[in-house]
């Protein structure tokens, strides 16, 4: 009875387990609900022995030794789909080269092996093109391929080698990059199914390392190369145009200098001689005239005006003569002019000239405006300063000419000066025209100091409308007028 009791008790305990045990022979599932390795397809495992996605052996209609055949096949991946995995297996007898969307992704020469490519990173929704170039050295020739693409919704897209593949005729350039078939292309011929003779079953699978998308550097892209070519062409055209403009400018400058020299010679040889004769004749007529004092006074005035005209003509000749376009010639002329101008006045002229004056070219617009400004400063000193001494100091500093006119006269308050009478506005405007600097320092009883500073080359600027509008009669800007005592007076006049 005990034995019967224990048998019945054991049956009751083991019955639920027997009922829940699997009754079919299906393979066990892995933790990720994927089938076991011996049943994995090409989407989930590399090197799988499942060849159901392989196509047939195909070739050209005719077969002969040393033959090259080009295969071409487009396929589509639906928009909005996500590619989980894609595997491509291929081989060719004897040598094959594999292309995807115009990019070579592999090649080999052992037809007994099946070469497997993971092309998942290279695919995306849209149209793609597979292309193969297979070379047959002798005897049998063929190509076999199988592509399986697994999508996120569980569907698979398969591309197999079959009669839908097109044969590309010889002589077509860039055929691996074409997305549409051309005229004269025809379908491939199916030879035998995969695994059949003469090639038999291919058990050796060569795993090619996973491929990565090819990111072309921007400097290799067509738009960049075309843009660079256009830029180089435009730069060349602009450079040639600038060189031609420079040559024309140089020729114009040479012609201008030649014309200035001719005008200077003509004025000197013709007009200068005539004015000199007029002065001589006036002096002779003054000596030989028997008229009264009034006539002699008229003759004397006429001679003096002729001499003034001759001096003015000499200044014009000096200005337009290209041989005088140097800094040394300018300094020599200004110093001589100052001594001559102040010779008949109570003002003693003192010169302080830098011994290292450059001999660089001094352009006509700059030296003309600077000369007129200096003459205006000397004229103001004679008319209004009541000075006994005047210092003309010339320095060459940091590629700039600095010219100072300083007197020991009465001085004045620049803020209350009559701008329309003393020429301060003209001096500031002339220096502004040549992009120079004008600095006035004065105060009552402490003399006056005027400083001019400029470069030797005249700046060519298009924005002439920005010039200072002091010519309208407005007061000088604050940066020009300074209400302070002269820093270094020249022997102030005693009270």
Cβ within 8 Å of residue 176, ≥6 positions away = 99, 102, 104, 129, 131, 133
The β-bridge relationship of strands 166-167 and 83-93 is: unpaired
pLDDT, position 187: 95
Nearest CA among 162, 122, 147, 187 for reference residue 52: 147
Is-contact 363 457, C-beta < 8 A?
A: yes
Is-contact 175 168, C-beta < 8 A?
A: yes
Phi (first) and psi of residue 131, to 5 degrees: -140, 140
Where do we find the tokens 């099946």? Answer: 114
- The gap from C-alpha 80 to its chain's centroid, in whole angstroms, comes to 42
pLDDT band at 326 (very low <50, low <70, confident <90, very high): confident
**Residue 434 burial (CB < 10 Å; 0-12/13-18/19+)?**
buried
**CA distance readout (Å), 206 to 89, 159, 274:** 9, 20, 110
- State both tokens at 380: 């103001």
150-154, 249-253, 474-478, 487-491: range with lowest mean pLDDT: 487-491
Is-contact 454 370, C-beta < 8 A?
A: yes
Distance from C-alpha of 142 to C-alpha of 93, rounded to nearest angstrom: 5
Could you tell me how many helices (H) and strands (E) the chain has, helices first? 7, 19
Distance from C-alpha of 186 to C-alpha of 171, rounded to nearest angstrom: 15
Length of the chain: 495
Is-contact 490 389, C-beta < 8 A?
A: yes
User: For 261-274, how does the pLDDT look when each residue is reduced to its tens digit (9 = 90+)?
Assistant: 767 666 666 666 66
User: For 198-236, how does the pLDDT look when each residue is reduced to its tens digit (9 = 90+)?
Assistant: 999 887 899 998 877 767 788 888 889 999 999 999 999
Distance from C-alpha of 467 to C-alpha of 324, rounded to nearest angstrom: 28
**Residue 427 burial (CB < 10 Å; 0-12/13-18/19+)?**
buried
**What is the arithmetic mean of pLDDT over 277-297?**
67
User: For 59-105, how does the pLDDT look when each residue is reduced to its tens digit (9 = 90+)?
Assistant: 999 999 999 999 999 999 999 999 999 999 999 998 999 999 999 99
- State both tokens at 99: 């292309």
Is-contact 100 147, C-beta < 8 A?
A: no
**What is the arithmetic mean of pLDDT over 233-250?**
90
Phi (first) and psi of residue 253, to 5 degrees: -65, -40
Is-contact 144 235, C-beta < 8 A?
A: no
Is the pLDDT at 241 greater than 80, yes or no? yes
**CA distance readout (Å), 109 to 129, 136, 139, 141, 228:** 22, 10, 15, 12, 41
Distance from C-alpha of 341 to C-alpha of 372, rounded to nearest angstrom: 14
Of 14-28, 224-238, 323-337, where does the model show the most confidence?
224-238
pLDDT, position 158: 94
User: Of all residues in the chain, what percent carry a pLDDT higher than 90?
Assistant: 42
Is the pLDDT at 473 greater than 90, yes or no? no
pLDDT, position 221: 85
Nearest CA among 68, 125, 70, 100 for reference residue 179: 100
The β-bridge relationship of strands 113-118 and 204-207 is: parallel
Is-contact 81 209, C-beta < 8 A?
A: no
Distance from C-alpha of 407 to C-alpha of 442, rounded to nearest angstrom: 10
pLDDT, position 273: 64
**What is the arithmetic mean of pLDDT over 1-28?**
42
**What is the arithmetic mean of pLDDT over 101-130?**
92
pLDDT band at 325 (very low <50, low <70, confident <90, very high): confident
Q: What is the dihedral of CA 27, 30, 36, 37, to 10 degrees?
A: -170
**Residue 58 burial (CB < 10 Å; 0-12/13-18/19+)?**
buried
Distance from C-alpha of 444 to C-alpha of 411, rounded to nearest angstrom: 5
Residue-wise DSSP of 359-385: --B--HHHHHHHHHHHHHHHHHIIIII
**What is the arithmetic mean of pLDDT over 100-114?**
92
**What is the arithmetic mean of pLDDT over 360-377?**
86
pLDDT band at 240 (very low <50, low <70, confident <90, very high): very high
Strand partners, 255: none
**What is the arithmetic mean of pLDDT over 159-163?**
95
pLDDT, position 203: 79
Distance from C-alpha of 9 to C-alpha of 357, rounded to nearest angstrom: 129
pLDDT, position 447: 92
* 32 vs 143, residue with greater confidence: 143
Is-contact 87 122, C-beta < 8 A?
A: no
User: For 38-55, how does the pLDDT look when each residue is reduced to its tens digit (9 = 90+)?
Assistant: 434 445 567 788 888 899
Distance from C-alpha of 179 to C-alpha of 313, rounded to nearest angstrom: 85
Is the pLDDT at 277 greater than 90, yes or no? no
pLDDT, position 462: 39
Q: Which residues of 348-377 are buried (b: 16+ CB within 10 A; e: fewer)?
A: ebeeebeeebeeeebebebbbbbbbbbbbb
């Amino acid at each position: 009875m005990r034995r019967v009791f224990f048998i019945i008790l054991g049956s009751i305990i083991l019955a639920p387990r027997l009922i829940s045990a699997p009754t079919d022979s299906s393979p066990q599932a892995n933790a990720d609900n994927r089938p076991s390795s011996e049943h994995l397809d090409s989407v989930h495992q590399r090197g799988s022995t499942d060849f159901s996605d392989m196509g047939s052996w195909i070739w050209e209609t005719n077969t002969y030794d040393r033959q090259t055949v080009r295969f071409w096949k487009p396929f589509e991946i639906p928009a909005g789909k996500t590619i989980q995995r894609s595997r491509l297996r291929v081989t060719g007898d004897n040598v094959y080269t594999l292309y995807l969307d115009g990019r070579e992704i592999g090649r080999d020469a052992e037809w007994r092996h099946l070469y497997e490519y993971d092309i998942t990173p290279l695919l995306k929704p849209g149209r793609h093109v597979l292309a193969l170039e297979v070379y047959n050295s002798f005897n049998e020739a063929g190509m076999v391929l199988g592509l399986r693409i697994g999508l996120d919704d569980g569907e698979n897209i398969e591309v197999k080698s079959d009669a839908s593949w097109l044969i590309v005729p010889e002589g077509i350039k860039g055929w691996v990059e074409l997305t549409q078939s051309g005229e004269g292309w025809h379908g491939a011929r199916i030879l035998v199914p995969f695994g059949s003779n003469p090639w038999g079953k291919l058990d050796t699978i060569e795993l090619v390392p996973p491929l990565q998308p090819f990111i072309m550097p921007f400097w290799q892209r067509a738009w960049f190369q075309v843009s660079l070519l256009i830029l180089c062409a435009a730069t060349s055209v602009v450079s040639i145009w600038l060189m031609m403009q420079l040559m024309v400018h140089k020729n114009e400058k040479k012609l201008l200098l030649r014309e200035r020299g001719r005008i200077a010679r003509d004025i000197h040889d013709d007009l200068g001689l005539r004015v000199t004769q007029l002065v001589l004749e006036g002096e002779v007529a003054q000596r030989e005239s028997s008229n009264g004092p009034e006539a002699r006074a008229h003759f004397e005035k006429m001679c003096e005006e002729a001499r003034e005209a001759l001096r003015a003509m000499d200044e014009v000749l000096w200005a337009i003569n290209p041989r005088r376009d140097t800094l040394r010639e300018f300094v020599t002329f200004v110093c001589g002019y100052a001594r001559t101008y102040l010779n008949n006045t109570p003002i003693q002229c003192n010169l302080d000239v830098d011994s290292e004056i450059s001999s660089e070219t001094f352009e006509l617009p700059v030296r003309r405006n600077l000369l007129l400004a200096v003459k205006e400063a000397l004229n103001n000193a004679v008319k209004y300063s009541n000075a006994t001494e005047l210092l003309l100091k010339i320095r060459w500093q940091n590629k700039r000419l600095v010219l100072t006119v300083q007197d020991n006269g009465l001085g004045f308050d620049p803020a209350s000066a009559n701008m329309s009478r003393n020429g301060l506005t003209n001096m500031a405007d002339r220096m502004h025209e040549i992009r120079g600097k004008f600095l006035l320092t004065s105060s009552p009883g402490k003399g006056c100091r005027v400083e001019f500073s400029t470069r030797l080359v005249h700046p060519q600027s298009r924005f002439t409308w920005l010039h200072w509008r002091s010519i309208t009669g407005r007061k000088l800007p604050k940066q020009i007028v300074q209400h302070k005592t002269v820093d270094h007076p020249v022997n102030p006049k005693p009270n």
